[in-house]
């Protein structure tokens, strides 16, 4: 069974994002970048499947600039067998990403696509669902446990009321939630081995996919700074301030 794992290069989760002075987007200059944390979880799960003998090959794919090769090398160091970079400097929308991944799926013919439930930069949480829709494949989102047996996958997913268990026919798309696993740290020997693993680079234009934007970013701003709290003497004072000053009652 072949598992395809899309990964995205994003601002490291430890870094505080800064907005550009012209408010057109987030400033990426001289900022540490790393693999999207949810995608790390997806890579870990795919590698565990191969280690259990469920999967025979794990292929990591990323869409982005040449620097995204570093992200793919991280996936290879974690245990992926090979990688594909669809090179572009454009910041693609979720629908465009799903279309590109559909083209890669057509070339690779994977039995399962495991990906992060969302990227921490755009926070759209839409690409996995869109990919499943345009592939006409079953999908299970926000997975906290995955069991693959034969041509079926049993997925436990997190919902508002608790947990829901689904059984999917393969091929399928599964998106990983935070509690699916704890990603491993790549060891130095595996980092060195990753440099020799195959990494194929394709130009976006070669796939013949319509990635024209459907959305326009009007303005990007930082959230307002939180005001300091105050103490009140009585419950009546609290109700009065909530009603007259905060306007929430």
**Are the beta carbons of 127 and 27 closer than 8 angstroms?**
no
Helices (H) and strands (E) in the chain, counts: 6, 13
Note the pLDDT tens digit of each residue in 110-127: 999 999 999 998 889 999
Cβ-contact 173, 137 below 8 angstroms: yes
pTM value?
Answer: 0.86
Six-digit token pair at 136?
Answer: 């006409």
Q: pLDDT in tens for each of the 249 residues of the chain?
A: 999 999 999 999 888 888 888 888 888 888 899 999 999 999 999 999 999 999 999 999 999 999 999 999 999 999 999 999 999 998 899 999 999 999 999 999 999 999 999 999 888 999 999 999 999 999 999 999 999 998 999 999 988 888 999 999 999 999 999 999 999 998 899 999 999 999 999 999 999 999 999 988 888 888 888 878 888 889 998 998 888 887 777
Across the strands, what pairs with 83? Answer: 60, 199
CATH of 2-246, one of 3.40.50.620, 3.30.2010.20, 1.20.140.10, 3.40.50.10860: 3.40.50.620
pLDDT tens for residues 66-83? Answer: 999 999 999 999 999 999
Q: What are phi and psi of 223, to 5 degrees?
A: -65, 150
CA separation (Å) from 79 to 5, 23, 55, 153?
Answer: 12, 39, 12, 22
Q: Where are the beta strands (DSSP E) in the chain?
A: 2-6, 9-11, 18-19, 26-27, 33-35, 57-64, 82-87, 112-116, 139-149, 152-159, 162-169, 172-176, 199-203
Q: Do the beta carbons of residue 31 and residue 86 sit within 8 Å?
A: no
- Please list, in sequence order, all residues whose beta carbon lies within 8 angstroms of the beta carbon of residue 141, skipping any fewer than 6 positions away: 117, 128, 129, 157, 174, 175
């Amino acid at each position: 069974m072949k598992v395809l794992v899309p990964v995205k290069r994003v601002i490291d989760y430890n870094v505080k994002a800064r907005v550009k002075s012209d408010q057109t987007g987030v400033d990426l200059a001289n900022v540490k970048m790393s693999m999207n944390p949810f995608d790390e979880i997806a890579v870990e799960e795919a590698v565990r499947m191969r280690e259990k003998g469920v999967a025979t090959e794990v292929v990591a794919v990323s869409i982005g600039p040449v620097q995204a090769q570093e992200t793919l090398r991280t996936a290879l160091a974690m245990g992926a067998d090979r990688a594909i970079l669809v090179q572009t400097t454009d910041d693609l929308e979720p629908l465009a990403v799903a279309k590109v991944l559909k083209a890669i799926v057509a070339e690779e013919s994977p039995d399962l696509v495991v990906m992060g439930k969302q990227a921490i930069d755009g926070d759209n949480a839409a690409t996995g669902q869109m990919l499943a829709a345009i592939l006409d494949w079953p999908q299970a989102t926000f997975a906290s446990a995955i069991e693959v047996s034969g041509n079926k996958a049993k997925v436990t997913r997190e919902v508002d009321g608790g947990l829901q268990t689904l059984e999917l026919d393969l091929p399928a798309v599964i998106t990983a939630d935070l509690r699916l696993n704890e990603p491993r740290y790549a060891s130095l020997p595996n980092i060195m081995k990753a440099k020799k693993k195959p990494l194929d680079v394709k130009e976006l234009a070669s796939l013949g996919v319509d990635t024209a934007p459907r959305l326009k970013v009007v303005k990007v701003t930082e959230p307002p700074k939180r005001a300091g709290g105050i103490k009140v003497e009585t419950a009546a004072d609290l109700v009065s301030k909530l009603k007259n000053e905060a306007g929430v009652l």
